[in-house]
Amino acid sequence: MSPRKSAAEARRTRERIIERSVAIGSVEGLEGLTIGRLATDLGMSKAGVLGHFGSKQALQLAALHGASSLFTRLVWEPVAGLRPGLTRLRAFCEAWIRYLERERTAFPGGCLFTVASTEFDTRGGPVHDTVARFMLRGRRLLVNDLRIAVDVGELPADVDPDQLAFELHGLYMALNQEVQLFADATAPARTRRALDRVLGPAPEEERTAPAPG
């Protein structure tokens, strides 16, 4: 076996471990990740799993980074090239709704960050800090377009972007709970109505346009 093929196989094995870790974490929490569980699920030895991560905490952190990459690819990247301000913000919000509503392959138990934020909110340490950092990164994307929307007159000048981002972020935490805990099929539509109240009704062309990506 060539060194290049060996390195590629090692990367793929690591990716498989992370993918399974994200799925387990979304259902059972990051504390549900065990070396034994992953080894059984993936048909590997415990030593094989440990060889890639070395510790449970390293595995938890890798799962968070994997989930963040998926969110970026599925939600942010398809809309990143749109016009900054309300146009991109609305598209981002819609992509986020669809992600929480439909993404069941990678996240069978819903948003991993919502699960982890509850699981680790009173704990210190690297996992807590990583969860907080990624959650704040998503909120900053909202703040950035809200500030632009205020600057160009799409929103009133007295709108506080940080406060409004706080409120919007809360909608998505609530949406994840409604979908996961209550299996409420009306929750996405209710979230869209809430967004219209906060941001104002979307122009008709935006309502009828196909989803980005």
> What are 26-60's pLDDT values in tens digits?
999 999 888 888 999 999 988 888 888 888 999 99
| Alpha helix segments (H runs only) across the chain | 3-28, 35-42, 46-53, 56-71, 86-102, 112-119, 126-151, 161-181, 187-199, 204-208
Burial of 149 (0-12, 13-18, 19+ CB in 10 A): buried
Q: What structural domains does the chain harbor?
A: 60-208 (1.10.357.10)
CA distance 207 to 211: 10
> What are 131-140's pLDDT values in tens digits?
999 999 999 9
> What are 147-202's pLDDT values in tens digits?
999 999 999 999 999 999 999 999 999 999 999 999 999 999 999 999 999 998 87
CA distance 112 to 176: 10
- What does pTM read for this prediction? 0.86
